[in-house]
A and B are shown apart, each in its own frame.
Chain A
């Protein structure tokens, strides 16, 4: 496929990520920070985000499975998760983290568990979509003009 088509596809996917509320403003800033000196900046940040998120998700799982539940620890982990997802503009994930923290401060275990399922789901979807999108961007970059 030629470069124009690939670029068009990538742009389309990018638009839908914003329109559907997966991403917002901070992601645009990350894109603006990418240049010839730092050509893979967005991918690097996103990769760090995956690594960090995997760690936090595991910690939260563990904390939710412990009895009694340590709500302070849970809140701390979720604060970190919310922070990094907010920094990359992962809007949907960030919003669900906020919901979780509300259940957390109310020490509502069931609410936390439910909300955490949603966080994981949103995160998994975002990750898949981002991987597809960034792959499209890469392909467009290395492709030849028809």
Chain B
């Protein structure tokens, strides 16, 4: 799974050519959190903020797709805006399940590169397998712990930074100093 993640992040690093990274706040990972539960949404939001992420929390798969759709329009207009770096979604939701959202994201040419993490209160092997086969980056069993979130953000940002530094052949940290 780590290998998969590295490949995904290297591809994303190529996509950001043209962005002025030293100027923008792109070190901050922007996470789209999807959960129909009021309580869980607030908790995941806090967990992500403590891990220094920007968070957009929505209550349904439909709203998540709408948000991504808006995002695309903004980019087309040249805004260096709210690019989503990670989607973390509950599995069991009314309307569109997390699995269905995952499929829609992976089927879209615009968004299939965005890693998707599934959360579920039910630790069902068949469910986990199905999600991973559909391209989910990881599967977290609820209740979500800070260590789960840290683990995911850590390996995401490490692969991203390493891939990008390799590609540009410079040490970004040096630029900052």
Contacts and interface: CB of A to CB of B under 8 A. Distances in A.
Interface in B50-98: 50, 92, 94
Given A83-B37, A87-B43, 6 more contacts: A76-B94, A79-B92, A83-B142, A84-B39, A84-B40, A86-B121
Interface string B118-129: 000100000000
Interface in B126-148: 142-143, 145-146
A83 to B, nearest CB: 5
A45 B42 CA distance: 7
Contacts of B50: 33
Contacts of B92: 79
A30 B145 CA distance: 10
Nearest to A35: B50
A52 B43 contact: no
A133 interface: no
11 contacts: A33-B146, A44-B42, A45-B42, A45-B43, A48-B39, A79-B121, A80-B37, A83-B39, A84-B38, A87-B40, A87-B142
A32 B40 CA distance: 16
Contact of A29 (B42, B121, B145): B145
Interface string B16-50: 00000000000000000000011110110011001
Contact of B46 (A33, A79, A82, A83): A33
- At the interface, is chain A mostly helix, strand, loop or mixed? helix
- At the interface, is chain B mostly helix, strand, loop or mixed? helix
B40 to A, nearest CB: 5
Contacts of A44: 42
B37 A87 contact: yes
A104 B159 CA distance: 46
Contacts of B39: 45, 48-49, 52, 83-84, 87-88
A18 interface: no
